[in-house]
Structure 1
Amino acid sequence: MSIRSRFAALAASIAFVPALVGAQSAPAGPAPLKVGDAAPDFTVATATAAGLSAKPFKLSEHRGETVILAFFPKARTRGCTVQMESYRDRYAELFKSGQKVTLVGVSVDPDSALTSWAKDAKFPFQFAADVDRKVGVAYAANTGEGFHKRLLYVIDPQGKIAYVAAPFNQMSADAYTDLGSAITKAGHGAH
């Protein structure tokens, strides 16, 4: 085989590789919402350490507050426990003890599992039981594999996305520092 023939064969095989790679790779999911986007409204059942909330959580009813949606894969798993315990331990500092700041942990777990976990771990915030995955789909958190990505949104008091952590790195101290700054900044925009 001549050098020219070898080069032509190599060029043809290289041209085929992107098509082959593209055919084998999984399609990318929707991109997370961006800062400045209007936060999609939703209504979902929530649970706390006290049990199932009497009234579902409706995002639009929380205008005037800073809302943090913390999507996570599964209750009681190692990484999720680190994340939620960090929120609990920093609740006064990061989330202003819930004064005009609402934290909602969102997973596909049923409300009974979230209630039990919140009670056992003494979590002072609420969890959304997104069992039908509608909230996860609206916020590009749904993996399509039965759980949510670890994704976090700060929504300002006007209902706009003020901060996105995609993914939220629950093991990094900087992630919590950045979150605290974003919450403070979003809240100051309300004045």
Structure 2
Amino acid sequence: MKPQVGEMAPDFTAPVVGEGIGEGESVTLSALRGSRVVLVFYPKDDTPGCTTQACELRDGWFDLKGRARVYGVSIDDVKSHGKFIRKFSLPYPLISDPEKAIVEAYGVWVEKSMYGKTFMGTERTTFVIGADGRIEHVLEKVSPKDHLGLLSELLA
């Protein structure tokens, strides 16, 4: 079940790469209290929709970076994240969740279907978390091309 607006965001500690963060470092959500945090859950590194979304965020980074700490989150490993960041010059860090603990805590590990087959995967969802650690906004099933515009409006 997804956390709802007004609820405390589920805490986690997980490996993170990018934005000057060294290999082997982790991020803990509760340690970021005092700052607004955006968690952008996406299905997979270097796939068409996820690349579109990531590059939209990159291209709008100048506008976003001063308003919140933005993190991409997927079940891909740190090595995959590093390649994705380098390939597309992503200016924000990516959190690795191969054990699926974060995607499950946020209710975005769901049954999906494609071409008549069902499988488990990450639902494209963004959580805006206030400086107090409470969920401010939840963007669900947003088109990768529309994501930046909606996020920018919420952070204004």
**1:34 Cα shift?**
1.3
1:108 to 75, 88, 92: 75
**1:168 Cα shift?**
2.4
TM-score by length of 1: 0.72
Q: State the distance in 2 between where 1:181 and 1:51 align.
A: 28
Higher mean C-alpha displacement, 163-172 vs 70-79:
163-172
Gaps of 5+ in 2: 112-118
Q: State the distance in 2 between where 1:53 and 1:35 align.
A: 33
Gaps of 5+ in 1: 1-29, 185-191
**1:181 Cα shift?**
2.3
Kept in 2, the 8 Å contact 1:52–1:115? The answer is no
**1:120 Cα shift?**
1.4
**1:95 Cα shift?**
2.9
Kept in 1, the 8 Å contact 2:126–2:140? The answer is yes
2:141 aligns to what?
A: 167
**1:86 Cα shift?**
0.3
SS in 1 for 2:38: strand
**Aligned ranges for residues 81-120 of structure 1 at < 5 Å?**
81-96=51-66, 101-120=68-87
Identity %: 26
1:59 aligns to what?
A: 29
Q: State the distance in 2 between where 1:168 and 1:71 align.
A: 11
Q: State the distance in 2 between where 1:37 and 1:125 align.
A: 25
**Aligned ranges for residues 14-29 of structure 1 at < 5 Å?**
none
Provide, for residues 97-156 of structure 1, a one-character-per-residue CA deviation record: whole Å limited to 9, x for no partner. xxx621111111111000011011110111011000000001011125453110100001
Q: State the distance in 2 between where 1:70 and 1:166 align.
A: 10
Q: State the distance in 2 between where 1:39 and 1:51 align.
A: 23
Kept in 1, the 8 Å contact 2:56–2:145? The answer is no
SS in 2 for 1:82: helix
RMSD: 1.8
1:177 to 139, 149, 153: 149
SS in 2 for 1:83: helix
1:12 aligns to what?
A: none
Q: Which one scores higher on RCO, CA 8 angstroms, separation ≥ 6?
A: 2
Q: State the distance in 1 between where 2:127 and 2:153 align.
A: 13
2:106 aligns to what?
A: 139
Kept in 2, the 8 Å contact 1:52–1:111? The answer is no
Q: How many residues align?
A: 149
**Aligned ranges for residues 147-166 of structure 1 at < 5 Å?**
147-166=121-140
Kept in 1, the 8 Å contact 2:45–2:81? The answer is yes
Higher Cα radius of gyration? 1
Kept in 2, the 8 Å contact 1:45–1:52? The answer is no
